[in-house]
């Protein structure tokens, strides 16, 4: 642990964070238009794909998805409770204990909202979905540092009949979503205390949040206050009426309206504005691809009606985290369309059309990214 982080921890343990500013904003950190896309809810801000420098998403532009205003949490009085019929004895941890009592681990993982690209999904089928109107920016990758969830469950004594673990947040709606015990105890399921080398910011879950590798972002509960271990399957709004796939191709099993979303599908995006404008000169086109719990195997691109070609993957390939890719292009003036198709190590490939579902989740279609290349003479006017 660095001296800087130790100082941050000391400050966090003796002061509260998460206060609204003078304008009574629902989030804490600045969300300037040059870095973030405002969805209009006052709670949800996407990262601009053309403002993603490097492999990790800087904390100042990491997307925000919340169902209620960022809460005021005081680390000095905060405790994390582990309880339920699936443990032999309830236990509670203070903020200081999490930092000092358990081994700290760091993982780089991507978190993506299941509703990412909902606006593009609607354009694909000619309708508007309810829910947060995400473009392409409800995804980000960070280095998360904290304690493995299983290390916190162990002292409580997990019963032989335990099957699910449900984290619960301290926001107004008490956000919660159960995960199977095996996923909860995975090596890379963390109770995160830090993000990109700094104490977890308020909007991203201070003082502690869950990070569930490869699953929908809603599983990575922020502002943790309670973890329930159950010997029965748990049903809450987030796995019965929301974050479920509803439609003729998705059978319902009461009390759920459809299958609950868990691991995410393979997707890709180009790091350009939508639509993009380029000059008629050699360009390096870059982007990202993500495959949930799987690894990205290949990324291919197509310009207009040309052949599909291989893009170069330029970052490490691992499950639960995106890759960066690139290809060179010397465009001529005119209107163009870029298409990118990623495939994971299980053979799953982005389709041309995503399966329709009522809430507009899991849009994974190959995107037709519009690009206008202007002549130098016109650009110089």
Specify the 3-state DSSP secondary structure of 234.
coil
- Torsion, CA 242, CA 248, CA 251, CA 252, rounded to 10: 40
Cβ of 29: how many Cβ atoms within 10 Å?
Answer: 19
- The β-bridge partners of 339 are 302
Q: Write down the residue that tokens 């459809």 correspond to.
A: 258
Specify the 3-state DSSP secondary structure of 253.
strand
Domains and CATH numbers, the chain: 3-239 (3.90.420.10), 267-379 (2.60.40.650)
DSSP string, 152-190: HHGGG-B-TT--EEEEEESSTT--B--EEHHHHTSTT-E
Question: Among candidates 343, 336, 340, which has minimal Cα distance to 371?
Answer: 336
Cβ of 280: how many Cβ atoms within 10 Å?
Answer: 15
Q: Tell me the pTM.
A: 0.94
With contact defined as beta carbons under 8 Å apart, do 138 and 217 qualify?
yes
pLDDT of res. 17 = 45
Cβ of 171: how many Cβ atoms within 10 Å?
Answer: 20
pLDDT of res. 133 = 98
With contact defined as beta carbons under 8 Å apart, do 151 and 188 qualify?
no
CB-based contacts of 165, cutoff 8 Å, min separation 6: 86, 149, 153, 178, 179, 180, 181, 184, 227, 228, 229, 230
**CA 87 distance to own-chain centroid:** 29
Question: Among candidates 258, 245, 194, which has minimal Cα distance to 216?
Answer: 245
With contact defined as beta carbons under 8 Å apart, do 138 and 116 qualify?
yes
Task: Give the span between the Cα atoms of 293 and 71, in whole angstroms.
Answer: 30
pLDDT of res. 378 = 58
Task: Give the span between the Cα atoms of 257 and 48, in whole angstroms.
Answer: 33
Tens of pLDDT along the chain (381 residues) come to: 655 555 566 555 544 444 444 457 999 999 999 999 999 999 999 999 999 999 999 999 999 999 999 999 999 999 999 999 999 999 999 999 999 999 999 999 999 999 999 999 999 999 999 999 999 999 999 999 999 999 999 999 999 999 999 999 999 999 999 999 999 999 999 999 999 999 999 999 999 999 999 999 999 999 999 999 999 999 999 999 999 999 999 999 999 999 999 999 999 999 999 999 999 999 999 999 999 999 999 999 999 999 999 999 999 999 999 999 999 999 999 999 999 999 999 999 999 999 999 999 999 999 999 999 998 765 554
Task: Give the span between the Cα atoms of 290 and 263, in whole angstroms.
Answer: 11
Cβ of 194: how many Cβ atoms within 10 Å?
Answer: 24
With contact defined as beta carbons under 8 Å apart, do 177 and 243 qualify?
yes
Q: Pairing between strand 73-74 and 45-47?
A: unpaired
pLDDT of res. 5 = 58
- The β-bridge partners of 199 are 194
Could you read off the pLDDT of 41-69 as tens digits, one per residue? Answer: 999 999 999 999 999 999 999 999 999 99
Return left, alpha or beta for 306; rule: phi > 0 is left, psi -120 to 50 is alpha, else beta. beta
CB-based contacts of 366, cutoff 8 Å, min separation 6: 339, 340, 341, 350, 351, 352
pLDDT of res. 4 = 58
Tokens for 166, please give them. 């449900």
């Amino acid at each position: 642990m660095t001296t800087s982080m130790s100082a941050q921890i000391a400050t966090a343990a003796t002061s509260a964070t998460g206060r609204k500013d003078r304008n009574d904003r629902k989030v804490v950190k600045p969300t300037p238009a040059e870095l973030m896309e405002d969805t209009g809810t006052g709670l949800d801000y996407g990262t601009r794909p053309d403002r993603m420098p490097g492999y990790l998403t800087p904390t100042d532009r990491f997307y925000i998805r919340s169902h209620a205003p960022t809460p005021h949490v005081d680390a000095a009085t905060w405790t994390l409770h582990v309880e339920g019929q699936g443990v032999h004895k309830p236990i509670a941890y203070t903020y200081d204990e999490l930092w000092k009592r358990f081994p700290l681990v760091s993982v780089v993982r991507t978190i993506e909202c299941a509703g990412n690209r909902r606006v593009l999904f609607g354009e694909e089928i000619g309708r508007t979905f309810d829910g947060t109107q995400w473009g392409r920016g409800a995804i980000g990758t960070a280095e998360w540092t904290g304690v493995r969830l299983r290390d916190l469950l162990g002292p409580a004594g997990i019963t032989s009949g335990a099957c699910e673990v449900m984290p619960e947040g301290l926001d107004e709606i008490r956000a919660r979503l159960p995960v199977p015990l095996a996923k909860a105890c995975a090596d890379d399921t963390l109770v995160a205390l830090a993000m990109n080398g700094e104490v977890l910011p308020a909007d991203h879950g201070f003082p502690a949040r869950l990070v569930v590798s490869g699953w929908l972002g809603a599983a990575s509960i922020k502002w943790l206050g309670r973890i329930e271990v159950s010997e029965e399957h748990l049903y809450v709004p987030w796995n019965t009426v929301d974050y479920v796939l509803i439609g003729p191709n998705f059978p319902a099993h009461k009390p759920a309206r459809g299958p609950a979303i868990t691991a995410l599908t393979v997707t890709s995006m180009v790091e350009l504005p939508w639509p993009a404008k380029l000059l008629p000169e050699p360009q390096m086109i870059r982007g990202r691809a993500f495959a949930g719990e799987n690894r990205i195997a290949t990324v291919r691109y197509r310009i207009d009606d040309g052949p599909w070609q291989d893009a170069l993957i330029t970052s490490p390939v691992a499950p639960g985290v995106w890759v960066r890719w690139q290809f060179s292009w010397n465009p001529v003036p005119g209107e163009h369309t870029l298409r990118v198709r990623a495939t994971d190590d299980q053979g799953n490939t982005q389709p041309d059309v995503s399966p329709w579902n009522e809430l507009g989740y899991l849009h994974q279609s190959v995107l037709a990214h519009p690009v206008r290349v202007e002549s130098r003479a016109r650009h110089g006017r």
